[in-house]
Amino acid sequence: MRFAAKLSELESLLSKRWRGMGGSHRRLRPVETYGPRELLVREPSGLRPLINFSSNDYLGLSQMEQEVKLSSQPSSRLLGGNRCRVEAWEAEVATYWSKDSALFYPTGYMANVGVLSCLPQKGDLVLMDRLCHASLIDGVRLSSARWKRYRHLDMEHLESLLKDHDGAGAVWVVSESIFSMDGDCPDVSALRQLKERYGFILMVDEAHGVGVMGQGGRGFFEDQGALDLVDILMFNFSKTLALQGGCVLGVGELKRHLVALSRPQIYSTATPSSHWEALLPRMAAMESDADGRRHIAGLKKSIEQGLGLQNVGPSGIIPLMIGDGSKALAVFEQLWEAGFFCPAVLPPTVPQGKARLRLSLNSSLRESDVNALLVELQKCL
């Protein structure tokens, strides 16, 4: 009886808060099978295929088959012993990026939280682009360092904050390479000049650059010939590599610190090593798939030309700005009905008044898919 009473108290509290929030557009949509080009969604009337303009499986590597024998180790790497094969894979990944060390985390979210919650310390200052991913924000919120946000991609604003710094403690600058909701990127030569002038530590999240940019798919900073500029490079396995996990690359001392201090690493069970069995084969496929990268660039060009878009960033992400949240949802529904999955992104994920459709192009999509989408978009934008 007491249990039932408690439950209804919780229910009434949550439903009151839900009403106070005006509900939420966030709900899960049932997908029966996933493919980078096509999703099969379950609807009351049955299964329906949708062309997938939402996937971060940029090179379609989810479709690479590999038999693995499930292994698990129900403890953290620190407490239960470190699997030699994981250590060896980390060394290979570090070498591929020409960095001294790599440390894997169960997810990219945990990697960002793990770095920023422990490395910047009291007396340090963290300067972060205003549109950085939630995992970077959550990480720095857990740290004891001071932190400020600079206007999105605004290097002059970043410089004015660097000038204001009193000189005590280390300064950490944090940016994404390709911003996940806008597809744009920082000005690398301006960052280099600022770094030379003010001497900060640069952390970059390459989640959306890896696979899509750079000759070997190492990301935006490889593309710009500027991997040396990045002190802490984070990327995740859950986009192009279509696995699960995060990776932090940098000097050897970085890994030593994270192993000893980074709480998501210490207090969470190690990812089963079998899960990463496919990592190196997928990285090799990523490296050699320059055609896939070119194909994505071609699809993007067709969309830019078809919609008359300008200044779209260099990646496969295209934001179609709508502004009003309910209009964005209406366009999303209309495209869904027409057979396209183009997710709407609304506040608080993006700032108020900046609701959009977020197209994410992958190499499994065809030119004919893009043309069909353009026809539909002309009707509803």
Ligand X SMILES: Cc1ncc(COP(=O)(O)O)c(C=O)c1O
Residue 112 is a binding residue for ligand X (CB under 6 A): yes
CB of 181 to ligand X, least distance (A): 8
Residue 135 is a binding residue for ligand X (CB under 6 A): yes
Stretch that binds ligand X, among 102-110, 123-131, 150-158, 264-272 (CB under 6 A): 102-110
- Are 311 and 185 in contact by the 8 Å Cβ rule? The answer is no
Stretch that binds ligand X, among 60-68, 202-210, 291-299, 311-319 (CB under 6 A): 202-210
CB of 246 to ligand X, least distance (A): 5
Angle, helices 155-164 vs 188-198, to 10°: value is: 10
Residue 109 is a binding residue for ligand X (CB under 6 A): yes
Nearer to ligand X, 218 or 377 (CB): 218
Residue 376 is a binding residue for ligand X (CB under 6 A): no
Near ligand X in 342-371, by CB under 6 A: none
Per-residue x/- track, 171-190, ligand X (CB under 6 A): -----x---x----------
What's the rounded Cα separation, in Å, for the pair 227 and 273? 28
Sort residue 363 into left (φ over 0), alpha (ψ -120 to 50) or beta.
alpha
Nearer to ligand X, 176 or 277 (CB): 176
Per-residue x/- track, 210-239, ligand X (CB under 6 A): --------------------------x-x-
Nearer to ligand X, 118 or 181 (CB): 181
CB of 109 to ligand X, least distance (A): 3
DSSP strand pairing (355-360 vs 344-345): antiparallel
Residue 108 is a binding residue for ligand X (CB under 6 A): yes
Stretch that binds ligand X, among 27-35, 119-127, 204-212, 352-360 (CB under 6 A): 204-212
- Total interface residues for ligand X by CB under 6 A: 14
Nearer to ligand X, 107 or 262 (CB): 107
Residue 205 is a binding residue for ligand X (CB under 6 A): yes
Nearer to ligand X, 162 or 282 (CB): 282
CB of 322 to ligand X, least distance (A): 21
Give me the residues that bind ligand X (CB under 6 A), please: 107-109, 112, 133, 135, 176, 180, 205, 207-208, 236, 238, 246
